[in-house]
């Protein structure tokens, strides 16, 4: 990523400051379905639906539009029409809560299967964003 780890005044930059890693726990079939944004950095959709299509293509749909991805590594989804990379950095064992973000640092979110999510899982996902250097003090509350 090569981003400066500290922004103005010594605060962390809003983007990640460490190379993002995808979780080895990721499984497209288990990840598929509806997710609600609990907290986010950047422009965030309230809801997203992830689904499997044909030939291993993974679709992400929001109110703003849709994107298609191919899994290129554990938790690493490369946009089929651009250079965009979606990284699933963490997901709990039950695939109920996740920390996700764009590799270019423009967007990250804590997402959950329910609008509120469980506090312990939300905390864990937020800690993962912090671990990768996202400025979690700038997290915006989701839906």
Confidence band of 57 (pLDDT split at 50, 70, 90): confident
Report the C-alpha gap between 82 and 68 in whole angstroms. Answer: 10
| Range with the poorest average pLDDT among 1-5, 89-93, 119-123 | 1-5
Q: What percent of the chain has pLDDT over 90?
A: 50
**CB within 8 A of 16, min separation 6: which ones?**
1, 3, 101, 105, 108, 132, 133, 134
Global confidence as pTM: 0.84
**Which of 14-18, 62-66, 80-84, 121-125 has maximum average pLDDT?**
121-125
Residue 11 C-alpha from the chain's centroid: 22
């Amino acid at each position: 990523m090569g981003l400066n780890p500290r922004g103005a005044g010594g605060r962390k930059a809003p983007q990640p400051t460490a190379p993002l890693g995808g979780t080895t726990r990721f499984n497209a079939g288990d990840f598929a379905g509806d997710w609600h944004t609990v907290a986010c950095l950047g422009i965030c959709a309230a809801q997203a639906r992830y689904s499997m299509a044909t030939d291993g293509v993974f679709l992400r749909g929001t109110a703003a539009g849709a994107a298609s991805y191919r899994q290129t590594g554990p938790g690493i989804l490369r946009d089929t029409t651009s250079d965009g990379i979606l990284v699933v950095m963490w997901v709990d064992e039950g695939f109920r809560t996740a920390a996700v973000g764009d590799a270019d640092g423009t967007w990250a979110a804590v997402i959950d299967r329910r609008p509120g999510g469980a506090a312990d899982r939300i905390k864990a996902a937020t800690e993962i964003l912090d671990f990768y250097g996202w400025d979690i003090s700038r997290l915006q509350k989701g839906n």
